[in-house]
Chain A
Amino acid sequence: MVDLIYQLFPYAIAFTIPLLITSLGGLFSERSGVINIGLEGLMLMGMFVGAYVISSIESTYPGTAVWIGLLAAAFFGALFALLHAFACVTLNANQVISGIAINMIASAITVYLARFFTGSGNLQIIRGMPRITIPFLSDIPVLGRLFFTQTYATTWLILLVLVLATFLLYKTRFGLRLRACGEHPHAADSAGVNVYLMRYMAVMISGACAGLGGATFIVTLSGEFNGTAAGLGFLALAALIFGQWKPWGILGATFFFGFASTVANVSQVIPVLAQIPGIYLKTFPYVITLLALILSSKSSQAPKAIGEPYDKGKR
């Protein structure tokens, strides 16, 4: 049993990380008052851009290609999210519809382009992110094996982002204003905060994070773009709600989902788990989220102004 956990842990963490960063992206957007159903599409965009960039330059720059790919994915994620921001912030469109459109545009256009580039619509990368074992720290009993062996550099990068995001949201001027926009945009506006600008920035941050999440998934776990994010973006959205719109809650929720998904994925090769029908394991995160929604319905921590277009005129 213990061995099993040791075996599963690196995979669970690897699965958690793309969810975590995407969910953190959603956190910024929703804390500023913009619902982001489009995380799935933004992630897919990151997967596509990451896979495309890496596959085209990895023979020339074998070492750095992965990092350039991640950077490009974040950049294009932010750029693509601009579309969502424009609809939601400038045009006061329905945020849910815009998010759905983002998902649909992403899945259509990435496959369109991938097919244009390769014919098949799949983009493979040869060298993913290498797994590293951190010296000394990996010698710590138990924890060393769980957390510091067979890890990816992206894992540490994204955990750093988590810390930074927490700091940014709760300790800085930017965070205070961003949260004010999500709770009471009129209050923020009358205090001289540019609500539109804050929301644009927040949505673009969410795009960058989700793009990074998608590319991270490509370079660590899947190794190829195949035209779908397989619901990961929705899982990240679920984690955002399950984590009650708080950074550390999100960490818990994504790890929970990451672990559950890993267990489901490997269940057939592990005798103990093979007895549990896959259907239970696979639907588990979604069912849990529904239950969490029911339980938290009375005391939801959702930002108050979420989903409401901010209209200066209406006050």
Chain B
Amino acid sequence: MSVFAVILGLIAGAILMIATGNNPLDGFYFLFRGGLMNIERVGNTLATATPLIFAGLSVAFAFKTGLFNIGGAGQMLIGGLCATAIGLTFDWPKPILLAVIIIAALIGGALWASLPGLLKAKFNVHEVVSTIMMNWIAYWIIFYIVPQYFKGPFLETESQRIPAAASLKVPWLTSLFSGSFINLGFFLAIIVVVISAFILERTTLGYELKAVGYNRDAAGAAGINVNRNVILSMAIAGALAGLGGATFYVGFASNMQIGVLPAQGFDGIAVALLGANSPWGVFAAAIFFGILHTGKGFMNAMTAIPPEIADTIIATIIYFAATSVLIERNWDKLLKFNRDNLLRRKKKESLEVEAGGDQ
């Protein structure tokens, strides 16, 4: 199904390239080359993929428990704000500072997302609508807090640069990938993927969360505390997105821009869908999108194709991921149906033969 959606997404991209008078083969060649052609670009691809892994895990984790977390963008902003605030405020040794930054981003995201969780649990407020509202609230909070408290020296619209001690970038990694954006966030992402997979598959916590996700009523009737799990699930999803915010704002980037909802929050939905909501699937899907995002600038430089082609492809993949499950299911049904019919016809024929033999 995922492959199917990707192919359709790429086809849609190709059509758009053709429609604007470009050769799609050239376009795709430079797009992928731009994401993979040397060690620096590979590093950038992984760095770009890092927040996507977190955002994708966030959506996937909530989805496993039957919740739709559209608030990834807002949770990333809050996580990023916590990380940036600590990075700009304290002057501690790097290991301690990074540990505190990560924990703060995690807690910030978790708290931000547990409010919609609470509203869902207590008042049955649909989390889709409440997380959208929370996104915009986060957007405006950043819009006013950053210039007021963390204003950069040059522009009103961004924070100061965080000091090196507060950045997830480390010199050895940067030089290993010849100057790329790659940072410790990527390793944090791998650790979190492993932990998520373990929680979902092996633990009673994962069993409970999935039970609530698949069938809230049956879980409740069996004595599982549904409300607690809903809040917990949103908090975990928010924590994951908050971590993603930290890896984006104090890892990939070095400051916060205001007036932007991070696109990763929404791309995370595509990542989760494409990764079939499994942690390692999310990991792979995020790397794929990382390639697209890293390569689009190079493609734009080498051809006349605007870089938004990458976003178009990702958006189309979401669309097809949402629909291809059904296309495929119907396809399966059709195949099975035909097979059944065939079997039945054969059986009928053999019966008729037998009947014929009696006469």
Contact = CB atoms under 8 A, between A and B. Distances in A.
Interface of A: 35, 37, 83, 87, 91-94, 96-98, 100-105, 107-109, 111-113, 115-116, 121, 231, 234, 237-238, 241, 277-279, 282-283, 286-287, 289-290, 293-294, 297
29 contacts: A87-B319, A87-B323, A91-B323, A91-B327, A93-B322, A93-B323, A96-B70, A97-B273, A98-B319, A101-B315, A101-B322, A102-B319, A104-B311, A104-B318, A105-B312, A109-B16, A111-B308, A112-B306, A112-B312, A113-B20, A231-B136, A278-B144, A286-B133, A286-B137, A286-B140, A287-B137, A290-B125, A293-B130, A297-B125
B266 A104 contact: yes
Contacts of A231: 136, 139
Given A108-B311, A283-B140, A98 B132 contact: no
A282 B129 contact: no
Contacts of B311: 104, 107-108, 111-112
Contacts of B269: 97, 100
B309 interface: yes
B141 A283 contact: yes
A123 B234 CA distance: 40
B123 A91 contact: no
A101 B270 CA distance: 9
Contacts of A121: 306
B119 A105 contact: no
A237 B129 contact: yes
A279 B312 contact: no
Nearest to A279: B144
B308 A293 contact: no
Nearest to A105: B315
A107 B318 CA distance: 14
A116 B129 CA distance: 34
A112 B134 CA distance: 28
| 6 interchain residue pairs of minimum CB distance | A104-B315, A108-B311, A101-B319, A112-B308, A97-B322, A115-B306
Contacts of A282: 140, 143-144
A105 B141 contact: no
B18 interface: no
Contact of B119 (A94, A96, A290): A290
B323 A283 contact: no
A105 B316 contact: yes
B70 to A, nearest CB: 7
A104 to B, nearest CB: 3
A277 to B, nearest CB: 7
Contacts of B145: 279
Q: Which of B125, B143, B266, B319 has the most CB of A within 10 A?
A: B319
Contacts of A277: 144
Given A97-B321, A101-B318, 20 more contacts: A87-B319, A87-B322, A93-B326, A96-B128, A97-B318, A109-B312, A111-B306, A112-B16, A113-B20, A238-B132, A278-B143, A282-B143, A283-B140, A286-B134, A286-B136, A286-B140, A287-B133, A293-B123, A293-B125, A294-B125
Interface in B278-306: 306
Contact of A238 (B20, B133, B141, B321): B133
B124 interface: yes
Contacts of B230: none
B336 to A, nearest CB: 15
Contacts of A238: 129, 132-133
B110 interface: no
B312 A108 contact: yes
Contact of B129 (A83, A87, A108, A293): A293
A100 B123 CA distance: 24
Contacts of A241: 129
Contacts of A112: 16, 20, 306, 308-309, 311-312
B133 A100 contact: no
A103 B314 CA distance: 12
B68 interface: yes
Q: Which of A101, A113, A283 has the most CB of B within 10 A?
A: A101
A283 B137 contact: yes
A264 to B, nearest CB: 9
